[in-house]
Chains A and B, each alone.
Chain A
């Protein structure tokens, strides 16, 4: 008897579970990904800080014909009739006070990367695959935030504090959410079937396709996506290419859009609390060594190298002492890093006793080993050379190491250049120049020269940038036998100036 009863009891519960599962399958949209498209309409302006509403501003890009076209326009410029896509000259004609910057894609990407890191607080899947936008998969986070509205509001709050204006739209297909966000229509579509009807009214201009195809579509009288969906597919593919069809399918959710995940860059952060407070640097060194060793193993595990890091000495009172140390070439050599830090610590004056040491780095990048030269057998190790230069620079300060390069300018002062990195030179001079140049020309007294060679070189240049010169250069010898390069201005031929030495 007993087993039968238990069996009877089990039957209804099993069937309940079955029904539950079936209803879940019917409502598959509960589990399908839901994408929140976050479009930044003014990103190009925001990266330059051109967010003031009252000041007309625009960002330009070059097109294939070499014209400068406006890419983004501020609201106040828009009021004066300036619109994106306009040439720069016509924009200036409408609004002479327009502040213009050249579009900086690198800056935009950096800004997006920062925002994507913030986005990771809302979902584990943030994608930067669409231009000027973040795409967040939010289905899994809805329960946490209560509703999509709450999540969107929090996200908007977070991004707005960073000075960005955003448009958000949610849709089950990533491209659809991006298109809606880009159009400025802040709506939420939860099921696939609604996609086509909502997207249908969007302009085809929003699609990320060639300018040429946009023009041709406009000429055919196609203005919105609905018009495109009404056209026969084979004809569309033949006339405008298959990419347009693929985009249409992706927008309507018929075709999956594979998206890459954004991963936050790795960071190293480690703290060692000292057993007792100390103001003696010698006591700090073991702790710093330990941190550097940890950093080195962290880097080796990830096959990475560090370009810059901060050593922070925490005091019980007052602000911590912060030492920022960079390397010319990303490295993971703990001996080298320790040598550099030792150099910094040696010339450090502590404001008070140190209670903890912290090492922090966010500049962690992939490790690229140096390729050895197959044919040069006995060449010095370039990595060691860079490490030596790092060491010199750390001890002597940033401006202590300089490279030389020549610039094509006739004025002697402007023909040289000091750089922080080696640079190629373009020599254009024919008359022999002196090996030494004085930092500034020095007036010579008449008794100093013993002979002046008669050949003169007239250098007359620079009238366009306010540093015009008109000088006659001669070679000369002074009383002690030094070979000089001297000149006189054509206005005052009596006064000679020393400008260089032939060394």
Chain B
């Protein structure tokens, strides 16, 4: 939709539009126009928790986040990995233009309680702008706490898991599955938008 039309529609208060545009929520561009189009506000919600369900580790879930990571890294924010399933490989991160000096890996040694505690502490702090977490188990009440922490700290929390759960309090829920040349992203739930949209992105 072009900008002039958008302006015209906004200027008249009598016009009601079925799909409400969420212009006021802060976002962070994903770096993939196809994905931006289906996400409410046109990017990752910047002060919220995002839940990403993947069919299998390694199908491209991190490649999807790399442009956002780069943007935050360039601004000097910290990027924290909490209990990743494998080791993040520094040479690869360097090759993709990330500053590994601003990355921290936190290991909670199998303790579920510590995982949620660490996530909440980090999300509440504005220096760790992006916190990636790999929980053993998704629990709704704890997710709500994380969402509140992310709102308060103005940070982005990303939770990766492989479980098929119907509903959680996370404002944005995505399901990723591999496609021929990249990823197929299904929006399971989006605040201020409808679920069910599908985007296909090409990853190199």
Binding site for B on A (CB under 8 A): 376, 379-382, 384-385, 388-389, 391-392, 395-397, 399-406, 412, 415-418, 422-425, 427, 429, 432-439, 477-478, 480-484, 500-503
**What is the CA–CA distance of A484 and B90 in the complex, to the nearest angstrom?**
17
Chain A neighbourhood of B16, CB < 8 A: none
B residues 12-70 near A (Cβ < 8 Å) are 55-63
Nearest B-chain residue to A418, judged by Cβ: B105
Interface string of B91-121 (1 = CB under 8 A from A): 1111110001111111111000010011001
Chain A neighbourhood of B126, CB < 8 A: 380
The count of residues in chain B whose C-beta lies closer than 8 Å to any C-beta of chain A is: 46
Whole-angstrom distance between the Cβ of A267 and the nearest chain B Cβ? 33
Knowing A406-B100, A427-B95, A429-B95, say if A481 contacts B59 (CB, 8 Å).
Answer: yes
**What is the CA–CA distance of A502 and B203 in the complex, to the nearest angstrom?**
11
**What is the CA–CA distance of A480 and B178 in the complex, to the nearest angstrom?**
8
Knowing A425-B90, A503-B62, A503-B63, say if A481 contacts B125 (CB, 8 Å).
Answer: no
Cross-chain contact A404 with B56 (CB below 8 angstroms)? no
Cross-chain contact A425 with B106 (CB below 8 angstroms)? no
Q: Which of these, A385, A405, A406, contacts B125 with CB under 8 Å?
A: A385
Q: Which of these, B61, B89, B102, B178, contacts A434 with CB under 8 Å?
A: B89
Nearest B-chain residue to A399, judged by Cβ: B107
Whole-angstrom distance between the Cβ of A86 and the nearest chain B Cβ? 44
Cross-chain contact A380 with B127 (CB below 8 angstroms)? yes
Cross-chain contact A435 with B121 (CB below 8 angstroms)? no
Nearest B-chain residue to A426, judged by Cβ: B94
Say yes or no: is B140 at the interface (Cβ < 8 Å to chain A): no
Nearest A-chain residue to B180, judged by Cβ: A481
Nearest B-chain residue to A382, judged by Cβ: B127
- Looking at B59, B89, B101, the one whose CB has the most chain A CB atoms below 10 A away is B89
Knowing A385-B127, A392-B118, say if A502 contacts B60 (CB, 8 Å).
Answer: yes
Say yes or no: is B168 at the interface (Cβ < 8 Å to chain A): no
**What is the CA–CA distance of A395 and B95 in the complex, to the nearest angstrom?**
34
Complex A-B: 28 CB contacts under 8 Å: A376-B76, A381-B127, A384-B127, A392-B118, A397-B109, A401-B106, A403-B103, A403-B104, A404-B93, A406-B90, A406-B91, A406-B93, A406-B100, A422-B101, A424-B101, A432-B95, A434-B89, A435-B92, A436-B87, A436-B88, A437-B89, A438-B86, A439-B87, A480-B178, A481-B56, A481-B178, A482-B56, A502-B60
Whole-angstrom distance between the Cβ of A303 and the nearest chain B Cβ? 27
Extra A-B contacts (9), CB below 8 Å, given A396-B107, A402-B104, A434-B92: A380-B77, A385-B78, A402-B105, A425-B100, A429-B91, A435-B96, A436-B57, A437-B89, A437-B92
**What is the CA–CA distance of A434 and B78 in the complex, to the nearest angstrom?**
21
Cross-chain contact B106 with A388 (CB below 8 angstroms)? no
Say yes or no: is B122 at the interface (Cβ < 8 Å to chain A): yes
Knowing A405-B100, A433-B95, say if A482 contacts B87 (CB, 8 Å).
Answer: no
Chain A neighbourhood of B90, CB < 8 A: 404-406, 415-417, 425
Knowing A416-B87, A501-B86, say if A400 contacts B56 (CB, 8 Å).
Answer: no
Cross-chain contact A503 with B58 (CB below 8 angstroms)? yes
Give the 10 A-B CB pairs with smallest separation, nearest first: A481-B178, A501-B58, A380-B127, A503-B62, A482-B58, A433-B92, A436-B86, A427-B94, A406-B90, A437-B89
Cross-chain contact A435 with B55 (CB below 8 angstroms)? no
Chain A neighbourhood of B122, CB < 8 A: 388, 392
**What is the CA–CA distance of A270 and B180 in the complex, to the nearest angstrom?**
69
Cross-chain contact B105 with A404 (CB below 8 angstroms)? yes
Chain B neighbourhood of A385, CB < 8 A: 78, 125, 127-128
Q: Tell me the interface secondary structure of chain A in the complex.
A: mixed
**What is the CA–CA distance of A425 and B90 in the complex, to the nearest angstrom?**
8
**What is the CA–CA distance of A433 and B101 in the complex, to the nearest angstrom?**
18
Chain B neighbourhood of A415, CB < 8 A: 90-91
Cross-chain contact A484 with B109 (CB below 8 angstroms)? no
Whole-angstrom distance between the Cβ of B78 and the nearest chain A Cβ? 7
Chain A neighbourhood of B86, CB < 8 A: 436-439, 500-501
**What is the CA–CA distance of A402 and B87 in the complex, to the nearest angstrom?**
11
Cross-chain contact B178 with A482 (CB below 8 angstroms)? yes
Whole-angstrom distance between the Cβ of A121 and the nearest chain B Cβ? 47
Whole-angstrom distance between the Cβ of B94 and the nearest chain A Cβ? 4
Cross-chain contact A502 with B117 (CB below 8 angstroms)? no
Nearest B-chain residue to A408, judged by Cβ: B91
Whole-angstrom distance between the Cβ of A84 and the nearest chain B Cβ? 43
Chain A neighbourhood of B61, CB < 8 A: 503
Chain A neighbourhood of B77, CB < 8 A: 380
**What is the CA–CA distance of A380 and B130 in the complex, to the nearest angstrom?**
13
Nearest A-chain residue to B183, judged by Cβ: A481
Cross-chain contact B105 with A422 (CB below 8 angstroms)? no
Cross-chain contact A436 with B109 (CB below 8 angstroms)? no
**What is the CA–CA distance of A456 and B127 in the complex, to the nearest angstrom?**
41
B residues 133-177 near A (Cβ < 8 Å) are 177
**What is the CA–CA distance of A406 and B62 in the complex, to the nearest angstrom?**
19
Nearest B-chain residue to A409, judged by Cβ: B91
Whole-angstrom distance between the Cβ of A217 and the nearest chain B Cβ? 52
**What is the CA–CA distance of A81 and B86 in the complex, to the nearest angstrom?**
58
- Looking at A385, A388, A482, A503, the one whose CB has the most chain B CB atoms below 10 A away is A503
Chain B neighbourhood of A388, CB < 8 A: 121-122, 125, 127
Chain B neighbourhood of A417, CB < 8 A: 90
Whole-angstrom distance between the Cβ of A235 and the nearest chain B Cβ? 59
Chain B neighbourhood of A503, CB < 8 A: 57-58, 60-63
**What is the CA–CA distance of A477 and B181 in the complex, to the nearest angstrom?**
11
- Looking at B59, B109, B122, the one whose CB has the most chain A CB atoms below 10 A away is B59
Nearest A-chain residue to B85, judged by Cβ: A436
Cross-chain contact A482 with B106 (CB below 8 angstroms)? no
Chain B neighbourhood of A436, CB < 8 A: 57-58, 62, 84-89
Whole-angstrom distance between the Cβ of B52 and the nearest chain A Cβ? 12
**What is the CA–CA distance of A455 and B126 in the complex, to the nearest angstrom?**
43
Whole-angstrom distance between the Cβ of A354 and the nearest chain B Cβ? 27
Q: Which of these, B91, B106, B177, contacts A392 with CB under 8 Å?
A: B106
Nearest A-chain residue to B76, judged by Cβ: A379
Chain A neighbourhood of B88, CB < 8 A: 404, 435-437
Whole-angstrom distance between the Cβ of A500 and the nearest chain B Cβ? 6
Q: Which of these, B55, B60, B109, contacts A400 with CB under 8 Å?
A: B109
**What is the CA–CA distance of A391 and B120 in the complex, to the nearest angstrom?**
13
